[in-house]
Chains A and B, each alone.
Chain A
Amino acid sequence: MRDAFARGFCKAARQHGNFFLVVADISPAASLDDFRKEFPTRLVDVGVSESTMIGVAAGLALRGFRPFTYTIANFTIYRPFEQVRVDLCYQNLPVVLVGIGGGMSYSALGGTHHTIEDIAVMGCLPNMTILAPCDPLEVEAAVMAAAEQKGPVYLRVGKSGEPAITAQAPEPFEFGKLRRIADGGDAAIIGFGPILKLGVDAAARWQKETGKKAAIYSAHTMKPFDQAGAQALLRRHSKVITVEEHVGLGGLGSLVRLAAQESGSRTQITTLHLRDEFIHIYGSQDDLRAAHGITVETIYQALNG
């Protein structure tokens, strides 16, 4: 996803011409070399100073540039939270906050490097837009969409090696809309970020073992959330499962349940999310997801439930 970001970023930078990349002592993906070559004066490394990274980006934006800040997601939004709130959201400036390693991508690095509350924390800020693409293909589209926004954007991406799951999607990426990436009439799985791959695998197993088909939706735009789209989806399906690498409160499950409640939907909803807990277990990203109760198996069980 980092490489996909770099590709999308370079492409959008050529198109827009006013980009800056502001990093806080992190080496951007090697694939950002193209940007460095083409725009050698547009990369600023502020050092280990995330609060200043946001302030500098605000200053650049006030002068007419569109800065992208780039570091690991937790450092992008948690350390400088007040700068994000005041400098970017309160002043409504077009700065894109790129959070690498969203969720538990840096699984073995521990809780300091996990970002499992970001949608809730960024989602409650007025003026903030949140994009959380599910695979490298969506990352490129999300960068393009981020560059079109008039206010601040939080772009949550993973790190590397995430599989493409939207190559055959029946619907294109459209900002602010839930995107159907696989058809099915017997249930729907909605998720954001690369954990949606577990949903794709669970749906494949469900189809193989029961002959039933689950539609898959990518909630790549978490704010503004496509409430009308969610309500339409709830009308179409009798069973909906949300999957997210994020705590329950303020996440996708909350939003879908709210959409259901407001439309009087009686659809059966299962929300799979991280536990309200800092777990002290190490291993792969899938190991940590499993420790939180999210696996292909648990999604499969929800489909059968």
Chain B
Amino acid sequence: MTEEKIAAAQSRCRQYRRRILEVSQRLTALHVAPAFSCLELIDCCYFELMQRDKEPKDTFLMSKGHGAMALYAVLEAAGIMSRVDMDSVCQPGSQIGGHPDHGLPGVEISSGSLGHGLPIAVGMARADLELGQPRTIYVLMGDGEMMEGSVWESLLLAPTLGIANIVAIIDHNKSIARGSIPINHPNLLPLAPKIAAFGWEVAEADGHSQAAIVGAIGSRSRTKPFALVAHTVKGKGVSYMENKPIWAYRSPNKDEFAQAMKELAGAGGAA
């Protein structure tokens, strides 16, 4: 990635955070922090990695449904979801809620319950083999989601079926609803060797560095299904939210909102 592209991506990501905070002010509870850890990851998929303008188009599956706001913000920036739709999230009568629903603009699968995206990706990839369509399926999962049995079933199955067109991205923010993975469920770690043991190619990267994300995914061998363990920070970008479990669920109050917007105003961020 060029310096210019990286700067543009960083600017977009600051804007996503401001936009999500803006929407959060209309609601008492919204998954803000879980969205903030995966914004760079989703932005890289849509603006750097995916083939979106011609067939066969790549697919993005938001398996980590509680990161919905991150998906919507990127979809809005990509011109797939309208501003009106984004403004209506969770409002009475709106079709767009706190978790993604299949059928909304740009939303491929319904998620919110964890462990559903990867099995569906395997089915899509198997279909693509049958159709002879070389497209890539990106699946964004949470690291807590990696505790679901269906994830490991699918990790086991994908290489067996000869699938090489899945890129699973794990938003490894180390946080779960009741605390921290290293403290509460240390045996889930380290993730990378476990996934590799199931026959996948695995890389690790800083999940907030566009260059690192695109570099790692772009240099995969394409001979096996690929997983990126992306090290991230829950609540990234807002000092008081970073790694604080309470922000998994709540929206900031007026003062907190003002402070967050100030922190996110940063260089090149005035949009």
Binding site for B on A (CB under 8 A): 20, 41-42, 44, 46-47, 49, 51-52, 54-65, 67, 82-83, 86-87, 90-91
Contacts of A90 in B (CB 8 A): 102, 110
Residues in chain B near residue A62, CB distance under 8 A:
108-109, 120, 123-124, 127
Q: What chain B residues lie within 8 Å of A47 (beta carbons)?
A: 153, 156-157, 160
Smallest distance from the beta carbon of B148 to chain A beta carbons, Å?
9
Q: Is the beta-carbon distance between A56 and B150 smaller than 8 angstroms?
A: no
Least CB distance from B221 to A in Å reads 23
- Report yes or no: A59 in contact with B119, Cβ–Cβ below 8 A: yes
Query: Which of A47, A55, A58, A59: most chain B Cβ within 10 A?
Result: A59
Given A41-B130, A91-B110: A59 and B123 interface contact (C-beta under 8 Å)? yes
Q: Give A87 to B123 CA distance when docked, in angstroms.
A: 12
Pick the contact of B119: A20, A42, A51, A91 (CB < 8 A).
Answer: A51
Chain B interface mostly helix, strand, loop or mixed?
A: helix
Known: A49-B156, A52-B153, A52-B154. A59 touches B116 (CB 8 A): no
Which of B109, B119, B122, B161 gathers most chain A CB within 10 Å? B119
A42 in contact with B156 given A54-B119, A55-B123 (CB within 8 Å) = no
Q: Are A60 and B126 CB-contacts (below 8 A) given A51-B150, A51-B153?
A: yes
Give which listed residue, A20, A54, A63, A86, contacts B124 with CB less than 8 A: A63
Rounded to whole angstroms, the CA-CA distance of A266 and B95 in the bound complex is 45
Residues of chain A contacted by B130 (CB below 8 angstroms) = 20, 41-42, 65
Question: B25 within 8 Å of A by Cβ?
Answer: no
Among B103, B119, B129, contact of A56 (Cβ-Cβ < 8 Å) = B119
Q: A55-B119, A55-B122 given. 10 additional CB < 8 A pairs?
A: A20-B130, A44-B126, A51-B119, A51-B153, A55-B154, A59-B126, A62-B120, A63-B123, A65-B127, A82-B113
**In the assembly, what is the distance between CA of A301 and CA of B54, in Å?**
69
B266, CB-defined interface residue at 8 Å: no
Q: How far is the CB of A56 from chain B (nearest CB, A)?
A: 4
B27–chain A nearest beta-carbon distance, Å: 23
Interface residues on B, range: 20 to 34
Q: Which residues of B contact A87 (CB under 8 A)?
A: 109-110, 116, 119-120
- A57 near B156: Cβ-Cβ < 8 Å: no
Check: B149 CB closer than 8 A to any chain A CB.
Answer: yes
| B116-164 interface (Cβ within 8 A of A) | 116, 118-131, 149-150, 153-154, 156-157, 160-161
- Is A58 within 8 A of B153, CB to CB? no
Q: A46-B157, A91-B109 are in contact. Are A58 and B119 (CB under 8 A)?
A: yes
Central interface residue in B108, B118, B124, B126, by most chain A CB within 10 Å: B126
| Residues of chain B contacted by A44 (CB below 8 angstroms) | 126, 161
Shortest Cβ distance from B111 into A: residue = A86
A52 touches B122 (CB 8 A): yes
Closest to A61 in B: B123
Chain B hits for A52, CB < 8 A: 119, 122, 150, 153-154, 157
Contact of B150 among A67, A83, A91 (CB under 8 A): A83
Can you offer 13 A-B residue contacts whose CB atoms are under 8 A?
A: A41-B130, A47-B160, A49-B154, A51-B150, A52-B119, A52-B150, A55-B119, A58-B119, A59-B122, A59-B125, A62-B108, A62-B123, A63-B124
Question: In angstroms, how far is the closest chain A Cβ from the Cβ of B134?
Answer: 14
For window 195-229 of B, CB contacts with A under 8 Å fall at none
Residues of chain B within 8 A (CB-CB) of A46 are: 153, 157
> What is the CA–CA distance of A54 and B122 in the complex, to the nearest angstrom?
11
